[in-house]
């Protein structure tokens, strides 16, 4: 373990500089509450652990089990105090400025705003509209939602552990997006989440764009395994994966998917499920799957899986572009122009997609216990968007068993998750996951994957 045992104190950077004494006291009390403190500590450690190659949140937490952080009240507001932090967060004894900013983003989202939502009766988290309102409130408070701004935000999804050729391709696409003045939003981690941002910084620089936005949206369960990359200049931590995914599709104007694994498949299923809802018919939202030539088999496998489970009509909702980063950028730009015209004609906000209907099946947090996973209904008699919702939950449970602390511990205690369903669907899942294992997309290259799931035909 490589950590800094000395106590460090930092003051707010960019946010939370001005607080009332009532807010300071509430913040301190909330941050020390058992449930809140554990999440606050985990997310803070992830931010401080920048550059880590570990993709196992359980191991990260065990490696820095002596790390502590606390809120220190002052007459002028607050400070954060911590010890036993990773040394990678320091330069010449000082915490890197970007990391300091992100630590206060953690405090803002995990403690301050979460407390407001949990204690405010205006946020009905049992209703679809209430959840959408809560997502809006979190993003607005983080200043992600900018009025009077033309649509230009591209959400980029993909794996945190990809090949060098795939990573270089994500940078090239990001560069082409940056040249076109488009901003980037990702899951904030390494790999396909970092590459587009890195490329876009060069594209923005060449176009003399000095206010480029590199937004990272994450959630407590995944952040320890995917620490924010150094390019993220706006970090948002949503309460759970469902609100994280809704945050992406409410704020983004187009989505590009790079090669990934189970988590990327979960994201694709979420988005396709939303688009398949009959209420969203006719709402434009460009979706492009793209990668280098060496990723062709990966996308062929994803395309085949979607055909076998959700049908050929669903394949019309996206394009697959192989080895053409400039074309991918052009197509997403053209799609965003269509989104702009549609929003303007329908008086919908540019900064938040209020018109998009997201059913509660995609919004309510799914707790991946063995009982809940075993009860998932996976059969072709379901409406396509509901089947997509349950498939998303199944893949979410595999993500939990692979990299999330709670899921890893449940699998260690009770064995693999049992995912049951129609034989045809189970066969397509088995084929896809088998390809992921063969391509070493389930874990970092060089490790042997031990499945956290068992597929069973009903």
Region of 198 (left: φ > 0; alpha: ψ -120 to 50; beta: rest) is: alpha
What pLDDT score was predicted for residue 73?
A: 86
Is pTM beyond 0.75? Reply is yes
Percentage of the chain modeled with pLDDT above 90 = 68
- Rounded mean pLDDT, 333-356: 96
Write down which residue in 65, 87, 120 finishes a domain: 120
Model confidence at 259: pLDDT above 90: yes
CATH classification at residue 31: 3.30.1850.10
What pLDDT score was predicted for residue 426?
A: 96
What pLDDT score was predicted for residue 18?
A: 72
What pLDDT score was predicted for residue 53?
A: 58
Residues 115 and 42 placed together within one structural domain of the fold: yes
Residue 325 structural domain: 138-345
CATH classification at residue 303: 3.40.50.450
CB of 251 within 8 A of CB of 310? no
Residues 51 and 87 placed together within one structural domain of the fold: yes
Report the largest interatomic distance among the alpha carbons of the chain, rounded to a whole angstrom. 64
- Rounded mean pLDDT, 256-269: 96
Total number of domains in the chain: 3
What pLDDT score was predicted for residue 55?
A: 56
What pLDDT score was predicted for residue 382?
A: 95
Residues 188 and 312 placed together within one structural domain of the fold: yes
List the structure tokens of 290.
């793209």
What pLDDT score was predicted for residue 30?
A: 76
Model confidence at 256: pLDDT above 50: yes
Percentage of the chain modeled with pLDDT above 70 = 96
Residues 163 and 247 placed together within one structural domain of the fold: yes
- Range among 109-123, 157-171, 222-236, 441-455 rated most confident: 157-171
Cα separation, 54 vs 262, in Å, equals: 17
Cα separation, 308 vs 292, in Å, equals: 24
Model confidence at 306: pLDDT above 60: yes
Residues 13 and 115 placed together within one structural domain of the fold: yes
The reply to whether 353 falls in a domain is no
DSSP per-residue string spanning 382-438: S-HHHHHHHHHHHHHHHHHHHH-HHHHHHHHHH-SEEEEE-HHHHHHHHHHHHHHHH
What pLDDT score was predicted for residue 52?
A: 60
Residues 261 and 403 placed together within one structural domain of the fold: no
Cα separation, 52 vs 418, in Å, equals: 31
Residues 318 and 180 placed together within one structural domain of the fold: yes
Residues 106 and 154 placed together within one structural domain of the fold: no
- Rounded mean pLDDT, 347-376: 95
What pLDDT score was predicted for residue 57?
A: 61
Q: Where are the beta strands (DSSP E) in 209-322?
A: 214-218, 234-237, 254-257, 287-291, 319-322
What pLDDT score was predicted for residue 444?
A: 46
Cα separation, 8 vs 284, in Å, equals: 49
- Rounded mean pLDDT, 93-120: 86
CB of 326 within 8 A of CB of 333? no
Model confidence at 160: pLDDT above 80: yes
Q: Which of 67-81, 331-345, 347-361, 379-393 has the lowest mean pLDDT?
A: 67-81
- Range among 31-45, 188-202, 223-237 rated most confident: 188-202
Q: Name, in order, each residue with C-beta under 8 angstroms of 428's C-beta and a sequence gap of 6 or more.
A: 304, 305, 308, 309
Residues 308 and 262 placed together within one structural domain of the fold: yes
Taking all residues of the chain, what is their mean pLDDT, rounded to a whole number? Answer: 90
What pLDDT score was predicted for residue 174?
A: 98
Residues 335 and 371 placed together within one structural domain of the fold: no
Model confidence at 445: pLDDT above 50: no
- Rounded mean pLDDT, 16-29: 77
Q: Name, in order, each residue with C-beta under 8 angstroms of 5's C-beta and a sequence gap of 6 or more.
A: 83, 84
Alpha-carbon torsion 205, 210, 211, 216, what sign?
A: positive
What pLDDT score was predicted for residue 34?
A: 63
Q: How many CB atoms lie within 10 A of CB 7?
A: 11
In tens, the pLDDT along 59-98 reads: 777 778 889 999 888 877 888 999 989 888 999 999 999 9
Residues 330 and 401 placed together within one structural domain of the fold: no
The reply to whether 352 falls in a domain is no
The reply to whether 131 falls in a domain is no
Beta pairing class for 8-10 and 319-322: unpaired
Confidence of residue 227 (pLDDT cuts 50, 70, 90): confident
Model confidence at 58: pLDDT above 70: no
332 vs 47 pLDDT, higher one:
332
Can you tell me which residue has the tokens 């996976």? 378
The reply to whether 351 falls in a domain is no
């Amino acid at each position: 373990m490589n950590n800094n045992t000395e106590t460090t104190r930092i003051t707010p950077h960019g946010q939370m500089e001005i607080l009332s004494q009532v807010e300071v006291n509430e913040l301190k009390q909330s941050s020390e509450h058992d449930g809140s403190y554990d999440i606050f500590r985990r997310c803070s450690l992830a931010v401080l652990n920048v550059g880590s190659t570990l993709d196992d949140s359980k191991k990260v937490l065990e490696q820095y089990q002596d790390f502590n952080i606390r809120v220190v009240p002052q007459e002028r507001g607050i400070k954060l105090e911590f010890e036993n932090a990773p040394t990678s967060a320091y330069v010449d004894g000082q915490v890197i400025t970007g990391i300091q900013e992100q630590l206060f983003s953690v405090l803002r989202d995990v403690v301050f705003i979460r407390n407001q939502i949990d204690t405010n009766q205006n946020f009905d988290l049992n209703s679809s509209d209430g959840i959408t309102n809560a997502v809006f409130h979190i993003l607005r408070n983080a200043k992600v939602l900018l009025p009077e701004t033309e649509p230009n935000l591209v959400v980029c999804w993909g794996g945190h552990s990809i090949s060098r050729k795939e990573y270089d391709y994500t940078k090239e696409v990001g560069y082409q997006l940056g040249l076109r003045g488009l901003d980037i939003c990702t899951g904030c981690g390494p790999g396909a989440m970092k590459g587009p941002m890195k490329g876009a910084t060069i594209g923005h620089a060449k176009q003399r764009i000095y206010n480029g936005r590199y937004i990272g949206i994450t959630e407590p369960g995944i952040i320890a395994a995917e620490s924010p990359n150094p390019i993220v200049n706006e970090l948002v931590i949503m309460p759970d994966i469902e609100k994280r995914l809704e945050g992406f599709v409410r704020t983004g104007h187009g989505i590009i998917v790079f090669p990934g694994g189970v988590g990327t498949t979960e994201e694709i299923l979420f988005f396709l499920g939303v688009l398949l809802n009959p209420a969203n018919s006719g709402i434009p939202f460009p979706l492009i799957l793209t990668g280098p030539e060496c990723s062709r088999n990966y996308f062929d496998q994803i395309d085949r899986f979607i055909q076998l489970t959700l049908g050929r009509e669903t394949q019309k909702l996206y394009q697959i572009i192989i080895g053409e980063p400039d074309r991918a950028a052009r197509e997403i730009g053209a799609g965003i122009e269509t989104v702009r015209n549609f929003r303007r004609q329908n008086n919908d906000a540019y900064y938040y997609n209020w018109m998009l209907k997201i059913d509660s099946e995609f919004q309510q947090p799914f707790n991946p216990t063995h009982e809940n996973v075993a009860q998932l209904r996976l059969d072709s008699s379901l409406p396509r968007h509901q089947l997509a919702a349950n498939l998303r939950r199944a893949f979410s449970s595999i993500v939990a068993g692979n990299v999330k602390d709670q899921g890893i511990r449940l699998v260690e205690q009770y064995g693999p998750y049992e995912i049951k369903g129609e034989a045809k669907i189970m066969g397509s899942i088995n084929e896809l996951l088998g390809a992921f294992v063969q391509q070493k997309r389930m874990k970092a290259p060089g490790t042997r994957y031990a499945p956290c799931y068992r597929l069973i035909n009903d």
